[in-house]
Amino acid sequence: MLYFRQIVIMLVSLYTVRIVLETLGTEDYGIYNIVGGVVVLFTFLNSAMTSATQRFLNFAMGRGDTEQARDVYSTSLVIHAAIAVVVVVLAETIGLWFFNTWLNIPAERQEAAFAVYQFSVATTVIGILQVPYRATVIAHEKMSFFAMLSIVEAVLKLGVVFLLPVILSDHLVVYAFLVFVTGIVVLLIHKVYCNKVFETARFRFCKDMDLFKRLLGFSGWSVFGGAANLGRDQGTNILLNIFHGVTVNAAMGIATQVNSAVYQFVGNFQTAFNPQIVKSYSAGEHDYFRQLIFRTSKMSFCLLLFFALPLYVNAKFLLEIWLSNVPKYAVVFSQLVIIASLITAITGPLWRAVYAIGDIKKYELIGSCFVFANIPLAFLILWLGFSPIWVLFIKVCLNFTLLIWRVLYIHVKIKNFVTDFICKVIMPILVIGMISGISTVYLQSLFTTGLVRLVASCIASCISIGFLVYFVGLDAQEKAWLKNEMLGKRQQSKIDR
């Protein structure tokens, strides 16, 4: 269901971005991205609480403690409501000052940009209030509902795009308003479903102040990670705006959409595994916990590579097909963001494992420094007059540094983790990545026509990656499981006939 969800969402999202870019134009699309980015900067508290809520719900359910899970749900509702209030206050004070003082927005679009800013604040608040409901759905592993609601949300946003051309008002403002309305609809569906289906999703005033303190304490350290990630993504976007204007923001927006569409396949895979990682640790199943980390990291990279490799080598051709007007830097931005995401795919299960263990103080302090280093380094190279391409190159390098840090940190908690991670994850994916990359590029180079090159690279990457994943990526136990699954399905098919 999660993969079906992502195929639909990817197709809808790619088409939506094309129509939005055509309808709004490069300048207004850049304005929407940069203005919305300022608001998102103030959601670092929400990012921290999202991780904490998910972790504590999974931990309680792993131990079979329904009452504790209900208390976590109720407490998280109260905390997220408070976070929403804080975000509004920050956005309407510091955010407005930054909007009026620093953003490089054309004078004739200032009024429309202000309206977009206000709708972005409201949309962000709606997103914050959704977190406890989404966390509850994922903790109960109701992936079918999660997938279907995501499809509904994507279709609603597609409907918004179709409405834009027939509306006579300012398209930029109307688009921001309709995105806000879509958020309200999705929030209401989440609330009704959770309250009706899950016993743990019944709000009650929780008097367990120790739980309240533990949630805030855990999220307090998570704030460093949330703030660093938001600072990196939105801060660099703002720096690009200050030094190069909204056109480069449009290119970054395109690259972000490309990456989001592809990376969500891995995100879905990890979403299905994340509850099991936390639950296995809370239940004391440490061998299974260790296996999940290795397998999720390895397969996350391989699954992303299936889509990332042909997209990377055909980025220019695909963007020209997708968009009628490809912004400058969009191609190379997309390629560098894909590389950064391949590294992130490996590290995703690692930070979830750290959160399952629960000792995150030192991890967040040092890891956040690596992430936040993107801002001063980006400022330095832009101030020195370097190309904005270097901003993404720095991100790739720091993502790799963060991978090393996460592996070393878990090694302190889990014996022989570095050695096993290198042997069971790093070595296989290096072989898979290098051989499949070389074979795909070589086969593509034999053709000159863009469409033929695209088809050739897709075929080469799928065959080489599939072959290498089976013979290099899977260990003996995983191969035996796969064979049993295939034989089981074949036998079941014969019985059905």
Q: Could you list the beta-strand ranges (E) of 114-245.
A: none
Residue whose C-alpha is closest to residue 65's, from 73, 77, 57? 57
The residue with greater pLDDT, 206 or 375, is 375
CA separation for the pair 293, 382 (Å, rounded): 38
pLDDT tens, position by position, 456-489: 888 888 899 999 998 998 888 888 877 787 776 5
Rounded to whole angstroms, how far apart are CA atoms 101 and 316?
36
Residue 313: pLDDT over 80? yes
Higher pLDDT, 363 or 346: 346
Question: pLDDT value at position 163?
Answer: 85
Q: Are the beta carbons of 277 and 293 closer than 8 angstroms? A: yes
pLDDT at 240: 87
User: Per mean pLDDT, which of 51-65, 198-212, 255-269, 320-334 is the most reliable?
Assistant: 320-334
8 A C-beta contact, residue 198 and residue 136: yes
Give the model's pLDDT for residue 497.
47
pLDDT over 70, % of the chain: 92
CA distance 244 to 351: 34
Q: Return contacts of 390-394, CB within 8 angstroms, 24+ apart.
A: 391/236, 391/239, 391/240, 392/255, 392/332, 392/333, 392/336, 392/337, 392/340, 393/336
pTM of full prediction above 0.85: no
**Domain locations in the chain as residue ranges:** 2-414, 418-497
Q: What percent of the chain has pLDDT over 90?
A: 16
CB contact burial 402-435 (16+ within 10 A = b; e otherwise): bbebbbebbeeebeebeeebeebbbebbeebbee
Give the angle subtended at the CA of 97 by the CAs of 93 and 101, to the nearest 5°.
Answer: 175
> What are the tokens at 347?
């590290």
d(CA 382, CA 87): 30
Task: Please state, in angstroms and rounded to a whole number, the distance separating the CA atoms of residues 332 and 251.
Answer: 9
* Greatest mean pLDDT range, 75-79, 173-177, 233-237, 433-437: 433-437
Helices (H) and strands (E) in the chain, counts: 20, 0
Q: Give residue 193's pLDDT.
A: 93
Residue-wise pLDDT tens digits, 114-165: 888 899 889 888 988 888 888 888 878 787 888 888 888 888 888 888 888 7
Q: Which residue has the tokens 């990359």?
A: 437
In tens, the pLDDT along 45-61 reads 555 666 677 778 877 88
Q: How far is 412 from 409, CA to CA, in rounded Å?
A: 6
Q: What value, to the nearest 5°, has the Cα angle with vertex 452 and ends 447 and 456?
A: 80
Please, which pLDDT band fits residue 422 given cuts at 50, 70 and 90? very high
Degrees (nearest 5) of the Cα angle 73, 286, 54?
15
Indicate the helix (H) or strand (E) that contains 485. Answer: helix 476-496
**Per residue in 216-231, pLDDT tens?**
777 666 667 767 777 7
**Structure-token pair, residue 150:** 């995501």
